[in-house]
Structure 1
Amino acid sequence: MSQSATKSILVERLMPHPPAKIWRALTQSPLIAEWLMKNDFKPVVGHRFQFHAKPMPGWKGYTNCEVLEVDEPNRLVYSWGDGTESDSALTTVVTWTLTPAEGGTLVQMQQAGFKPADEYGFQAMSGGWPRILASLEREAGMLA
């Protein structure tokens, strides 16, 4: 694999909720905190925000992000950094795509741009995203 080669994580889940409910869970800061992490997110292109959680070895406990695209209720894109200053600092892009489907919404999450130096993060997040989407589905299901 060349140094310029990158990897992506792609997770799809059919959720039995309309796109508008899932969109709310994806874009309202208090709701995001319920299924992902504490944050200061706003669905505004150019808004810089952070996700916060308990620090752990190799991670300071925050992720620096910036909103890149908002197409309600179809697509949400933001950068995802790891909060480190090292040369191998994680700089990926998370894209959420919501597609109406029979019985609900097909939710697709892609995190793209993992470099070879990011293998640990790639492995950890590959296992984490399916659980996170299950939590998103539960949160959307609780909305009126």
Structure 2
Amino acid sequence: MTELASLDAYGVLTEPTTLKIQRLLPGPIERVWTYLTESDLRRQWLAAGDMEMKVGAPFELVWRNDELTDPPGKRPESFGEEHRLDSRITELDPPRKLAFTWGSTGGVTFELETIGDKVLLTVTHQRVAERSTLLAVSAGWHAHLDILVARMAGETPGPFWDTWVALRKDYEQRLGN
């Protein structure tokens, strides 16, 4: 069983270019799995995009972060209203593991583990070489996962962009130079 004593809202670097971040979510595991794999549910906390559940299947993630929360907060000038990313499923073990490519990085893995009536979600984003990208990705995963926790608990999440901006500053300090 996974050690929960070290569960922290902030992600940690497990190696210089790999971020690991965890959240404890209300179960059952099948419900969490649907929030990872079904476009209509995933768009409520991360990005839309239909996935064919088979290794090698291509898909596109479409972010519209202004639509995640109401109000959305103040979007940084460097971001547009929409962002798209072509991906491909690299590992699949429903409802425990989903991994896929992510742009120029080493990819993202979602792992689920049932712990009592909760589900531990571990997100690992590998080989994020550029520091600015690592900071943005760290704040992004943190903010998006906070929205997932709120949505699954039936709560209203705070403004996405305001949260992301504050978290990016936090990660800049936490992850050092």
TM class by shorter chain equals: 0.7 to 0.9
Deviations 1:59-111, CA, capped at 9 Å, x for gaps: 88211210111101111111111xxxxxxxx2231000101113401110000
Residues paired across the two proteins, number: 128
TM-score of the aligned structures, taking structure 2 as reference length:
0.64
Aligned counterpart, 1:136: 148
1:138 and 1:130 map into 2 onto residues whose CA distance is: 12
* Identity level (%): 25
Residue of structure 1 equivalent to 2:100:
78
Inter-partner Cα distance in structure 2 for 1:130 and 1:58: 17
Listed as ranges, the matches of 1:45-60 within 5 Å are 45-53=55-63, 57=78
1:123 aligns with 2:135: yes
TM-score for the superposition, normalised by structure 1: 0.77
Summarize deviations over 1:12-66 as a string: whole Å, max 9, x none: 1111221110001111111111111122323221111111235x74888211210
Matched, 1:65 2:75: no
3-state SS of 1:91 partner: coil
- Contact preservation (8 Å) 1:19, 1:99: yes
In the alignment, which of 28, 51, 54 is matched to residue 38 of structure 2? Answer: 28
Is the contact between residue 29 and residue 42 of structure 1 (CA under 8 Å) also seen in structure 2?
A: no
Q: 1:6 to 1:73 in 2, by over 3 A?
A: same
Select which of 27, 46, 53 maps to 1:17. 27
Q: Which runs of 5+ in 2 are unaligned?
A: 1-14, 65-76, 155-177
C-alpha contact (below 8 Å) 2:48/2:61 kept by paired residues: yes
> Match for residue 168 of structure 2?
none
Gaps of 5+ in 1: 82-89
Instruction: Give the equivalent residue in structure 1 for 2:11.
Output: none
Residue of structure 2 in register with 1:84 after alignment: none
Higher relative contact order, chain-length normalized (CA < 8 Å, sep 6+) = 1
CA distance in 1 between partners of 2:100 and 2:85 (Å):
12
